[in-house]
């Protein structure tokens, strides 16, 4: 895998609500974004509702106040059009184009408001499968709940189908620990992507 792709992380997520995190979920997303950039990673975001804006806020804070670098060199945003007329094949191609550029993919939350109820955001499952098809390092943060928790449970249950060895297994276990603090989850994510370099 080319080094620029290995150092590029796709952040998949949508959140009408942040579950057990409450409003701290927003800080968690911002801090994750900052930490990735501080450690030399580039970020791609699909700008999912309730997640993408906080990814960008963290990135802006780090790049302009910390690094004094150019945003366009380190962050790429692919907002989904709100047009209802787009076909499934266009959505699929758009996701494919976005995710194919990343060597790792992080999955956060995964819920949306639909028909006045909070529901699972199934688009995240599609993004997970696309990332897997490109052999990206898959990092579902189970502790964030919703679709991410489902993906995390499945990955842990079938861990040996996803990985050649169990070196990172402990870090993956931590990603689903409901008692883990946001900083501990970010540390686990960082350990996983660092090992992938």
pTM, two decimals, is 0.94
> How far apart (Å, rounded) are the C-alpha atoms in residues 95 and 194?
25
DSSP string, 160-187: HHH-SSSTTHHHHHHHT-TT--HHHHHH
Number of domains in the chain: 1
Write out the chain's pLDDT in tens, 197 residues: 666 788 999 999 999 999 999 999 999 999 999 999 999 999 999 889 999 999 999 999 999 887 677 788 899 999 877 666 667 788 888 899 999 999 999 999 999 998 888 999 988 999 999 999 999 999 999 999 999 999 999 999 999 999 999 999 999 999 999 999 999 999 999 999 986 65
Looking at residue 114, which CATH number applies to its domain?
3.40.50
User: What pLDDT does residue 65 have?
Assistant: 84
Tokens 């993956």 label which residue?
172
Q: What span, in angstroms and rounded, lies between the C-alpha atoms of 77 and 47? A: 6
CA triplet 49, 52, 56: central angle to 5 degrees?
150
Give the pLDDT of residue 85: 65
Please give the residue range of the domain that contains residue 91. Answer: 3-196
Q: Looking at residue 166, what is its pLDDT?
A: 93
**pLDDT of the residue at 13:** 96
Nearest in space to 136 (alpha carbons), one of 185, 103, 182? 103
Give every CB contact of residue 88 below 8 A, 6+ residues apart in sequence. Answer: none
Predicted local distance difference test score (pLDDT) of residue 21: 95
């Amino acid at each position: 895998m080319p080094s620029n792709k290995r150092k590029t992380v796709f952040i998949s997520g949508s959140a009408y609500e942040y579950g057990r995190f409450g409003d701290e979920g927003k800080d968690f997303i911002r801090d994750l974004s900052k930490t990735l950039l501080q450690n030399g990673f580039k970020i791609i975001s699909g700008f999912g509702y309730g997640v993408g804006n906080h990814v960008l806020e963290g990135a802006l804070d780090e790049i302009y106040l910390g690094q004094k670098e150019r945003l366009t060199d380190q962050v790429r945003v692919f907002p989904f059009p709100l047009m209802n007329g787009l076909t499934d094949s266009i959505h699929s191609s758009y996701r494919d184009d976005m995710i194919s550029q990343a060597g790792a993919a992080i999955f956060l939350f995964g819920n949306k408001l639909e028909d006045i109820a909070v529901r699972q955001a199934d688009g995240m499952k599609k993004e997970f499968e696309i990332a897997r098809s490109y052999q990206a390092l898959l990092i579902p943060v189970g502790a964030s709940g919703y679709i991410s928790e489902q993906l995390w449970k499945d990955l842990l249950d079938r861990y040996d189908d996803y990985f050649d060895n169990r070196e990172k297994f402990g870090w993956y276990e931590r990603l689903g620990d409901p008692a883990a603090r946001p900083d501990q989850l970010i540390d686990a994510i960082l350990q996983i992507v660092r090992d992938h370099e």
